[in-house]
């Protein structure tokens, strides 16, 4: 080995290392592209169905149910406000009775009304509480159908799959040529080190 070759041994090894890394990276990329193409083709090959119609129908029903639930919530809130207003006024007016017998009768009616209102509101609130899990489940079904609908839309890209496959094949062929050139370069560089 000449003195000039000796001086370049370290940079040459560094270059060989970098070329090997680039080659390995291209090999991994080629494999990644093959895998991506396989995944893309798997999605594109899904059969189309009547999901769009089902999705629209279910989504409309979900929107209506959600609006109905909000309407119920507003009405329950109004019942609570009206009940509180009525009972507050009634409680205040109980003090205004002069006749003790009528006051006792009014107090009994007040207590009964308050108890009935409390039970009614509790029952309405229980309905509100039971609505949310049903709405959540409904929303999950709508989202599931929507995502399946998106998959069907992807299936419409089937023509693109052919173009993409051709492009990926050409890219992989170019990568393989580049990898072969890198291997040849590495071989030449390593043979120089031996000389």
State how far the Cα of 76 lies from the Cα of 61, in Å rounded to an integer. 22
Q: Smallest Cα–Cα separation from 76: which of 137, 116, 126?
A: 126
Residue 137 in domain: no
Give the global pTM.
0.51
**What digits encode the pLDDT tens for the residues 71-88?**
888 887 888 878 888 888
- DSSP notation for 89-111: HHHHHHTT---HHHHHHHHHHHH
pLDDT, greater one: 82 or 91: 91
User: What is the domain count for the chain?
Assistant: 1
Residue 77 in domain: no
Residue 104 in domain: no
Residue 31 in domain: yes
Residue 188 in domain: yes
State how far the Cα of 162 lies from the Cα of 160, in Å rounded to an integer. 5
**What digits encode the pLDDT tens for the residues 30-70?**
666 666 656 555 544 545 556 666 667 777 777 878 778 78
Range of the domain at 33: 1-47+157-195
Residue 86 in domain: no
User: What is the C-alpha radius of gyration for the chain, rounded to an integer number of angstroms?
Assistant: 39
pLDDT, greater one: 101 or 31: 101
Residue 103 in domain: no
State how far the Cα of 168 lies from the Cα of 176, in Å rounded to an integer. 12
pLDDT, greater one: 2 or 25: 25
Residue 100 in domain: no
Asked whether the CA dihedral 142, 144, 149, 150 is positive or negative, the reply is positive
pLDDT of the residue at 40: 55
DSSP 48: P
User: 155 pLDDT band (50/70/90 cuts)?
Assistant: low
pLDDT, greater one: 111 or 138: 111
Average pLDDT over the chain reads 74
Contact 141, 58 (CB under 8 A): yes
pLDDT of the residue at 46: 47
pLDDT of the residue at 187: 80
**What digits encode the pLDDT tens for the residues 161-177?**
666 667 777 777 887 88
């Amino acid at each position: 080995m000449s003195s000039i070759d000796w001086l370049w041994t370290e940079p040459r090894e560094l270059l060989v290392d970098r070329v090997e890394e680039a080659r390995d990276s291209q090999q991994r990329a080629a494999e990644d592209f093959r895998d991506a193409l396989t995944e893309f083709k798997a999605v594109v090959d899904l059969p189309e169905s009547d999901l769009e119609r089902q999705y629209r129908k279910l989504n409309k029903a979900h929107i209506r149910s959600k609006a109905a639930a909000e309407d119920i919530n507003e009405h329950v809130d109004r019942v609570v406000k009206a009940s509180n207003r009525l009972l507050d006024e009634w409680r205040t007016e109980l003090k205004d009775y002069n006749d003790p017998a009528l006051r006792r009768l009014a107090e009994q009616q007040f207590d009964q009304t308050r108890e009935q209102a409390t039970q009614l509101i509790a029952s309405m609130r229980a309905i509100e509480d039971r609505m949310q899990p049903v709405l959540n489940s409904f929303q999950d079904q709508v989202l599931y159908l929507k995502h399946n609908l998106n998959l069907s839309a992807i299936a419409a890209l089937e023509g693109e799959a052919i173009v993409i496959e051709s492009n990926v094949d050409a890219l992989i062929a170019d990568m393989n040529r580049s990898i072969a050139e890198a291997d040849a370069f590495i071989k030449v560089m390593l043979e120089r080190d031996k000389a």
